[in-house]
Amino acid sequence: MDSSGNPLQNIRVPLSYAPKEKMLVRLEQQEDLRGDDSKVAVTLPRMSFDIQTFSYDPSRKLNKNLKFGKVKASGDTKKLNTQYAPVPYDIGFNLYVFVANSDDGLQILEQILPYFQPDYTVTMIESTTMDTKRDIPFILE
């Protein structure tokens, strides 16, 4: 930060889907982790994520026979589209931050954590046919 509180430099940190073990193997194969050498395939800082848990949540279950319908009209033709109630699952993700020093890691976390108070909600379009939107909370644990 400069004297007026503006950042001196913004660094985009790549994010990829990969298990922690795979990222560690890739990093161990590198000689220079800072990216100064043009032959380096992986530079730091870098983040990866993977799916850790996938569990059914019976507390949010709706009637399995419940159907939602939406009438679509085009000209003189009307069509009824239906879908059954969604099935609730909790999906747990792990986020891994690979850095050259702890200060870089703390700065990355400093940018991410304020969004989760206590969760970060994303509105997802489930089905364009049904015009269904659903708010999906991401909860930091």
Residue pLDDT tens, the chain, 141 long:
788 878 788 888 999 888 878 877 777 776 655 555 555 566 789 999 999 999 999 999 999 999 999 998 888 899 999 999 999 999 999 999 999 899 999 999 999 999 999 899 999 998 888 888 999 999 998
User: In the prediction, which pLDDT does 41 show?
Assistant: 61
CA dist., res. 29 & res. 40, Å (int): 10
**Predicted local distance difference test score (pLDDT) of residue 63:** 93
Model's pTM, two decimal places?
0.72
SS3 (DSSP) at 97: strand
Answer yes or no: are the C-beta atoms of 94 and 88 closer than 8 Å: no
pLDDT of residue 35: 55
> What 3-state DSSP class applies to 70?
strand
- Asked if residue 1 lies in contact with residue 34, where contact means CB atoms within 8 angstroms, the answer is no
- 3-state percent helix, strand, coil for the chain, nearest multiple of 5: 20, 40, 40
Which is nearest to 103 in space by CA: 45, 23, 47, 32?
45
- How far apart CA 27 and CA 32 sit, in angstroms, is 9
pLDDT at position 20? 79
Locate 96 and state its tokens: 């891994």
